[in-house]
A = this chain, B = another copy of it.
Amino acid sequence: MSLNIQKEVDSPSSLAGIPSGIERLPPLTPVEQEVIHIFVQTAQVLGLPKSVGEIYGLLFCAMEPLNFDEIMRRLKISKGSTSQGLRFLRNIQAVKTIYVAGDRRDHFVAELQLRNLSAGFLRERILPHLENGQERLANLHELLPQNPSENCKILEERVGYLSTWNKKARGLLPWVLKFIDS
């Protein structure tokens, strides 16, 4: 019974009346492949693993929530990559889980609001780097007086630039989000 519900909800191949066994999943359509490819490229620009781009791309195209196994098998990636990729995507809130009645498994959908996607990415990947940099800059200021007096002034000025850059970058983040909202 729960198996029936699952198949009706999740699996287009249920139309073909394939019974329990190892269910056949449709291969990626050309459009899906192309969308996934775009996200894989984007992932690489953002310094994220290919598998993260693949998973997000697949969910982006999906008409209904997909479960773990469907993601893994349609993309032909391993359990490990699927698990870690989904975890990352959930962390940055690029993907959320959906409750499906009568099915024990997690189901996933892509966040489709650019604003939320960006916010998650900035918060989880960029902000930590900037905050870490801020700490390092504070330490650096302690270190500066040890320098040969001649260079000291100019170096101090340059380290000052660095602090300004860091501050500017942190100030930029909320503006970026505001721009995206507009």
Contact = CB atoms under 8 A, between A and B. Distances in A.
Contact of A140 (B34, B140, B168): B34
Contact of A147 (B31, B46, B154): B31
A138 to B, nearest CB: 11
Which secondary structure characterizes the binding site on chain A? helix
Nearest to A34: B140
Contacts of A47: 44-47
Given A132-B41, A172-B176, A35 B112 contact: no
Interface stretch (A1-9, A17-25, A87-95, A159-167): A159-167
A44 B129 CA distance: 10
Contacts of A176: 172, 176
Contacts of A98: none
B112 A38 contact: no
Contacts of A60: 158
Interface string A99-141: 0000000000000101000000000011001001100110110
Interface of A: 29-31, 34-35, 37-38, 41-42, 44-47, 60-61, 63, 112, 114, 125-126, 129, 132-133, 136-137, 139-140, 143-144, 146-147, 151, 154-155, 158-159, 161-162, 164-165, 168, 171-172, 175-176, 179-180
A140 B31 contact: yes
A172 B180 contact: yes
19 contacts: A29-B147, A31-B144, A31-B146, A31-B155, A34-B136, A38-B133, A38-B137, A38-B162, A60-B158, A61-B155, A63-B151, A63-B154, A63-B155, A114-B164, A114-B165, A168-B179, A172-B176, A175-B179, A176-B176
A140 B35 contact: yes
